[in-house]
Amino acid sequence: MGVAAVEVAELRVARGGRVVLDGLDLTVRRGAVTGLLGPSGSGKTTLMRAILGVQVVASGRVTVLGEAAGSPSLRSRVAYVTQAPSVYDDLTVEENLRYFARVLGLRGSKRTEAVDAAVERVELGDERGRLARNLSGGERSRVSLATALLGDPELLVLDEPTVGLDPVLRASLWTLFGALAADGVTLLVSSHVMDEAERCDRLVLMRDGQILADDRLPDLLARTGTSSAEHAFLSLVGGAEGGAEGGAR
């Protein structure tokens, strides 16, 4: 088994007549938390959709866990958590999980075991009988994450999972992401909050559909001579713009 969970080569995506990703290359390592950081509109979600196999691409290659992105064999190996919690308000936490477990084809004792394990992992044991509509934003995010964990995925793709949450809840979710990675799950987590960079094993910084950096945070800070991911990003943006202006002249 190779060290790469995801390999993207020369990926080009156009949407609405505009090139969103142009010749993108990326490798996501197995068993680590890779942070995909950048401002809104940088192409993060489009890249994640391509990795999930639900984005039409103009050219290039995306390989996930050794298979072409979107292959039927990946359906039980890859899970996706959207920005908005994917839960039914009129069902309890447990009913939501049992429903999604059934969709995954889990039956009988296997379904019960999967639901119990997911509830324990996201620490919602005391809330499993509550209606989703009565949960806090952080609890709803945890239920959504729990549904993604039901199939025991090898790759977990999360699109800005902490958006709108307070610092305490954000920290709690990132602790959970770290625990999942320690168990061998590969996580690709997008965010536009630069201070979450320190919780990632590796960072991919994006802007305008381009990858500005793909590195560990300490190495990135050393290379840019800065003290934070935000300052490193700004330094890289300035360098890229300077290079573009120089080339134009």
- Closest residue by Cα to residue 236 from 245, 226, 246, 247: 226
User: Residue 207 corresponds to which tokens in the numbers above?
Assistant: 């802007």
Helices of type H across 122-228:
137-149, 167-182, 217-224
Q: What is the pLDDT of residue 239?
A: 63
Q: What is the pLDDT of residues 139-179, one digit of tens each?
A: 888 899 999 999 899 999 999 888 877 888 888 888 989 99
CB atoms under 10 Å from CB of 231, counted, come to: 14
Q: Are 165 and 138 in contact (CB under 8 A)?
A: yes
Q: What is the pLDDT of residues 202-225, one digit of tens each?
A: 999 999 999 999 999 999 999 999
Q: Are 3 and 29 in contact (CB under 8 A)?
A: yes
Q: Are 175 and 196 in contact (CB under 8 A)?
A: no
* 247 — pLDDT class (breaks 50, 70, 90): very low
Question: Would you list the domain boundaries of the chain?
Answer: 78-152
| pLDDT value at 241 more than 60 | no
pTM of the full structure: 0.88
Q: What is the pLDDT of residue 243?
A: 45
User: Residue 54 corresponds to which tokens in the numbers above?
Assistant: 């639900």
What angle, 0 to 180 degrees and rounded to 10, lies between the N-to-C axes of helices 137-149 and 167-182?
10
Give the whole-angstrom CA distance, residue 26 versus residue 247: 25
Give the whole-angstrom CA distance, residue 248 versus residue 244: 6
